[in-house]
Amino acid sequence: MKKYLVFLIFIPCLMFPQRMKQNAEFSLFSDYKAARVGDAITIIVVESSQAANKAETATGRKSNIGFGGSAKVGDAPLPDADFNLGTTNNFKGSGSTKSSGMVRTKISAIIDSVMPNGLLSIKGSRKIVINGEEQNISIKGVVRGSDIRSDNTVYSYNISDAEIIFDGSGAISRAQSPGWLTKLFHWLF
């Protein structure tokens, strides 16, 4: 009887293997992980950057030319001649730049395509408008399936060829940029 029972269980598995693969995503024992075109994943954007550059230059140059002479004819001294020429040239310059930035947000993206090697191309955007201030966030890049966590999230530093763009417009961003007259004077001078 046991042989027949085992046989009845495995016959459908052999007859319908494709159907079993399709139903594997509905498993009671594991979470579904995004892996197909159109599946949604959440990108946790945690980006920080720091850059510093410092340069110093010091040069110096000093020259002196001198000429001196004295003469005597018998016991009578002749007038002494003396000639000096000196020059000095010094330069000291220094400069430094420093920049840093930090971005933290979450954004949903959709799997755009699956590459032949299994990598997932993703793309997503979000537009937020608060009191006339518009903020656009867009992201695209390539993700490995193994970097997608069980809750369908992936950190932005795991995205290769990542392109993360934060852009905004509105009254505050207009107030922070110089006016057209100032831009004209900067362009001329």
- State the burial class of residue 137 (Cβ atoms within 10 Å of its Cβ: 0-12, 13-18, 19+): buried
The residues that bridge with 121 in the sheet, in sequence order, are 113, 142
Q: What's the pLDDT tens digit per position in 15-66?
A: 555 555 555 555 555 567 777 888 889 999 887 777 888 878 877 777 776 6
Bridge pairing between strands 153-155 and 40-69: parallel
> Where residue 10 falls among pLDDT bands split at 50, 70, 90?
low
Say if residues 71 and 64 touch (Cβ distance below 8 Å): no
pLDDT surpassing 70 at residue 4: no
Q: Kindly state the tokens that stand for 138.
A: 């867009």
- Residue 80 to residue 101: CA distance in whole angstroms: 72
Distance CA 62, CA 64 (A): 7
Q: What is the pLDDT of residues 112-127, one digit of tens each?
A: 999 999 899 999 998 8
> Given this model, what pLDDT does residue 71 score?
62
In three-state secondary structure terms, 183 is helix
List, in sequence order, every beta strand (DSSP E) within the chain: 40-69, 72-73, 76-77, 81-114, 120-130, 133-143, 153-155, 160-169
In this structure, the dihedral spanned by the alpha carbons of residues 113, 116, 119 and 121, taken in order and rounded to 10 degrees, is -20
Is 107 in contact with 93 (CB distance < 8 Å)?
no
Integer Cα distance of 15 and 70 in angstroms = 121
Instruction: Output the DSSP codes for 9-33.
Output: HHHHHHH-HHHHHHHGGG-SSS---
Other C-beta atoms closer than 10 Å to the C-beta of 162 total 17
